[in-house]
A and B are shown apart, each in its own frame.
Chain A
Amino acid sequence: MKLFVNNKEIEVPASAMEKRIVEFLREDLDLTGAKNACDIGACGACTILVNDEPSRICIKLVKDFGGQRILTIEGMAAPDGTLHPLQQAFLDCGAIQCGYCTPGMVLTGHAFLLKNSHPTRDQIRQAIFKNLCRCTGYQQIIDAIEKAAPHYQREERGLQAASAPEKQTATKNSKATTLAKGEAG
């Protein structure tokens, strides 16, 4: 079985099939950004994106993800370390305190903005409803997602124009991941 994790093809050993995917990512792939904070899918700290949809993976097994396209927080920034505009917005808005919910929040926000790049604050609030944060009261997280929205609007316009000018990371990601999806299909 194969997984497509952060644009990389991963061959899953048979022995790992029954593992929880949160443990597989954290232990076998050393992608420790996804946190396991409740084991029951209640807190969202383990959120990753599966085919661009947020998934709380502490309650899911590796075998459920065959051929799926997975994005973890480690795949958000550019390979050279440049932050994705949404990540940068989290920094700028003071949306990070203890940082434990941050990976799940960023990915949830990313999935949401991919679908709705002109959101209201209420819509953002609704979008992160399943991710718990005990530090921030969510205010600056909502600020950050709102602040990053224009980037996604530009991305959309760029895609509509079907032009291929030099783009920022998110485009690279979404293009590559679209390809991966096709392969998996």
Chain B
Amino acid sequence: MSLPETKCWRNDAYAKVTGKAKFTDDLKFANVLHAAPVYSDFVHARIVSIDTSAAEKVSGVVRVLTAKDVQGVNRFGQIIRDYRIFADDKIRYHGDVVAVVVAETREIAIHAAQLVRVNATPLPAVLDPEEALKPDAVLVHENHGSNLINTHVVRRGNVDNAFKQADFVIEQDFSTQFIEHAYMETEAAVCVPRLTDGVIEIYGSMQHPFSTRRFVATCLGVALADVEIIGTPMGGGFGGKDDTAAIICARTALAAKLLGRPVKMVYRRDWSMRESYKRHPYRVQYKMGVTKAGCITAVQCRIVADGGAYCSVTPWVTWRSTVQCCGPYVVENVHCDTFGVYTNNVVTGAMRGFGSPQINFVIEQIVEMAAQKVGISGIEFRRRNMVRQGSITITGQKLDGHKVAMEQVLDTVLREIDYEKKLEKCAHGKGDADELYGIGVAMSYRGVSLGAEGTDFCAAIINAQADGSILLETGMHENGQGVESAMCLICAEELGVDVNRIRYRRSSTSNIPDSGTTVASRGTIMGGGATALTARELKKKIAESFCEKLHCTAGEVRFKDNFICGKLDADRIAFADAMRQMWAMQKFPFALGTFKAPRTTWDEHSGQGDAYFTWVYCCAARQSSSR
């Protein structure tokens, strides 16, 4: 009943389909300045000096900012603080920004940016991650001591014995490429110094308002409360609007703070492509042992991920690849070594899939190759090895407490596409047709992003008004995926009211508690969980206020069809009336709730434990803070 006429409901669809939605570049502010980044033409070099004088002389240029203008900390990073707001000691990749030109118009800023001269001593560049791991390799970060960002392992069973017992051993090297997120909207930020209290308001295209706020505050040397990130429609993210987007906000905010005027920086596509982080290219050496019966006995693999010039989230991305290095298959003996490596290539970081696309490209081909060796179909091979209810994963986690529907999804796809029949039609390079026909399948599993240590939690606020309309806000961020709409639908269903009564409040980091980042597929589960629990809290409050009138106990009160009902449908109060009465009773129909993820365990040395994602998030964060 809560759905309006359209079968698909989005709170932002009308604005988007009419062109009324205001993305960052669409926002207008009086007296705004424009900023443009300055790159050097070096790939790896030691900076001697940065000459901004020619740019500063251009009429209309207001200021050229470099590292020396940073009042707070010029370092940045979620795990290792190795990324500079402005390159200071070295250029580490071709997308490093050495300065930002601020001018009265965008054209002037772009023109003047070309006049900034970087005087630097070129260094040999290390572009191959295997080369970077060699003891005599050129170092990207000298004080790090090596180019190794991180390692992860899985040690399970005894692979040497298991390979000896295997009837077949399949060995193959794989490689994957850099991938650009290619969100349709490039990075953008408008920063507005609030004249009344000096707070910097930020409107920007980013996935992670809370970490952006943290980085901006650190860069400016101000308190968290002095920076407010205001939710702005975002033209796609796909994991790509975290580090780079935050750093762009920090540079823009610095300019706004120093100059006391609004500053806008909208990235040109070539800047975005050059500077923004990419999906990690992987090199994977994979070895699988199988028996004649088609059972996997052992997997050994070595994964080398090109982390590019800065750490970003490389340890977390490679962790997921490590714990999922055998795909959705049960393997008793596993030996996996994963290395994240610094190079002078473009930075790599989070991208939709987060370490899975690379490793799945390997596994789902290897299982078919193994099946071929054994002489059974790839499907049959998968069935013999796939995880099932109660299976133990390669990290020693028992899959219970929820339905493991691997075979169900596999069968669903095979049936729908008529796989077995079509497999027989495949050309295998034979025949004389001009077009060679093929069909292929792949499957995977993935741990939902939840962890322990209290970091994976999310807040929601439901604030019902005296006329029965409802304000909702959660700590999740709308990336374009429709998370706000999902929250509204969940809230409507819980409260038994029409979804059109609900307005999702424009988000602000100054209003809702820090609920982490909207990545790792955690939007619906965390935000939705928080919304549902908060709605239940509010319902309890309402039920206690009206159960007497409804001739029932608080636990018996029901919420449906815009009414609050007792045991009998006749005992009911319209939701709007109830809200008005609550205000009269001086009770706020308001609730703040949180949803916390269950706890997990993980042993970094053996790679064993209930391998849920966020535990390692906070584990790595602890490491960095002790550095």
Touching in the complex, A and B, CB below 8 A? yes
Please give the residue numbers on chain A whose beta carbons come within 8 Å of chain B beta carbons, in ascending order.
26, 30-40, 43, 45, 72-74, 76-77, 81, 83, 87-88, 90-94, 96-103, 106, 132-135
Q: Type the 1/0 row for B10-36, where 1 means its CB is closer than 8 Å to any CB of A.
A: 101111111111110110100000000
Complex contact A35–B235 (CB within 8 A)? yes
Contact A37 B184 (CB under 8 A): yes
Q: Indicate if the CB atoms of B233 and A99 lie closer than 8 Å.
A: yes
Q: Is B469 an interface residue (CB 8 A)?
A: no
- The residue from A30, A72, A134 contacting B236, defined by CB atoms under 8 A apart: A134
Q: Which of B410-418, B425-433, B444-452, B477-485 contacts A (4 or more CB under 8 A)?
A: B477-485
B268 sits at the interface (CB 8 A): yes
A-B contact pairs, 5 of them (CB 8 A): A32-B22, A35-B25, A91-B17, A99-B13, A106-B17
Are the CB atoms of A96 and B184 closer together than 8 Å?
no
Please name the residue on chain A nearest to B7 by beta carbon.
A92
In the bound complex, do residue A98 and residue B184 qualify as a contact, i.e. CB atoms below 8 Å apart? yes
Chain B minimum-CB-distance residue to A31: B19
For A36, the chain B residues whose CB sits under 8 A away are 25
By Cβ-Cβ distance, the 8 closest A-B pairs, closest first, are A33-B19, A98-B480, A99-B16, A100-B235, A73-B19, A32-B26, A100-B184, A94-B8
B83: chain A residues within 8 A (beta carbon): none
B16 nearest CB across to chain A (Å) = 3
Contact partners of A106 in chain B: CB under 8 A: 17
Q: Compute how far the CA of A133 lies from the CA of B186 in the bound complex, rounded to whole angstroms.
A: 13
Interface membership of B143, Cβ < 8 A: no
* B15 closest partner in A (C-beta): A99
Across the interface, do B184 and A133 meet the contact criterion of CB distance under 8 Å? yes
User: Which of A26, A32, A90, A98 counts the most B-chain CB atoms under 10 A from its CB?
Assistant: A98
Chain A proximity of B479: nearest CB distance (Å): 7
Contact, CB under 8 Å: B184 / A43: yes
Taking CB atoms, residues of chain B closer than 8 Å to A77 are 18
Task: Tell me, in angstroms, the Cα distance from A90 to B16 when the chains sit together.
Answer: 10
Q: Which residues of B, 279-293, contact A by the 8 Å Cβ criterion?
A: none
Nearest-neighbour CB distance to chain A for B282, whole angstroms, equals 22
Assembly CA distance A83 to B238 (angstroms): 29
Shortest Cβ distance from B8 into A: residue: A94
Would A134 and B19 count as touching, CB distance under 8 A?
no
Contact status B23-A35, CB under 8 Å: yes
Q: Given the complex of chains A and B, what is the CA–CA distance between A97 and B480 in angstroms?
A: 5
Are A83 and B234 touching (Cβ within 8 A)?
Answer: no
For B196, the chain A residues whose CB sits under 8 A away are none
Could you tell me the distance between the alpha carbons of A98 and B482 in the complex, rounded to whole angstroms? 8
Besides the known contacts A31-B19, A99-B235, 18 further A-B residue pairs in the complex with CB atoms under 8 A apart: A32-B19, A33-B20, A35-B185, A35-B235, A36-B25, A37-B185, A37-B186, A74-B19, A74-B20, A87-B17, A91-B13, A91-B14, A96-B13, A97-B480, A99-B15, A99-B17, A100-B235, A133-B184
* Minimum distance in angstroms from B485 CB to a CB of chain A: 10
B269 partner residues in chain A, CB cutoff 8 A: 37-40
Q: Indicate if B586 sits at the interface (CB-CB under 8 A).
A: no
Beta-carbon contact of A135 and B480 below 8 Å: yes
B59, CB-defined interface residue at 8 Å = no
Chain A nearest Cβ from B515, distance in angstroms: 21
The verdict on A103 contacting B19 (CB below 8 Å), with A36-B25, A91-B6, A96-B10 known, is yes
Closest to B185 in A: A100
A88–B13 Cα distance when bound, in Å, is 10
Cα distance, A25 to B236, chains bound together (Å):
23
Residues in A neighbouring B480, C-beta threshold 8 A? 97-100, 135
Is B17 a contact of A102 with CB atoms below 8 Å?
yes
A106 to B181, CA, bound (A): 23
The CB with the most chain B CB atoms within 10 A, among A31, A37, A92, is that of A37
Q: Is B602 an interface residue (CB 8 A)?
A: no
| Minimum CB distance partner of A90 in chain B | B17
Is there contact, CB below 8 Å, between B182 and A134? yes
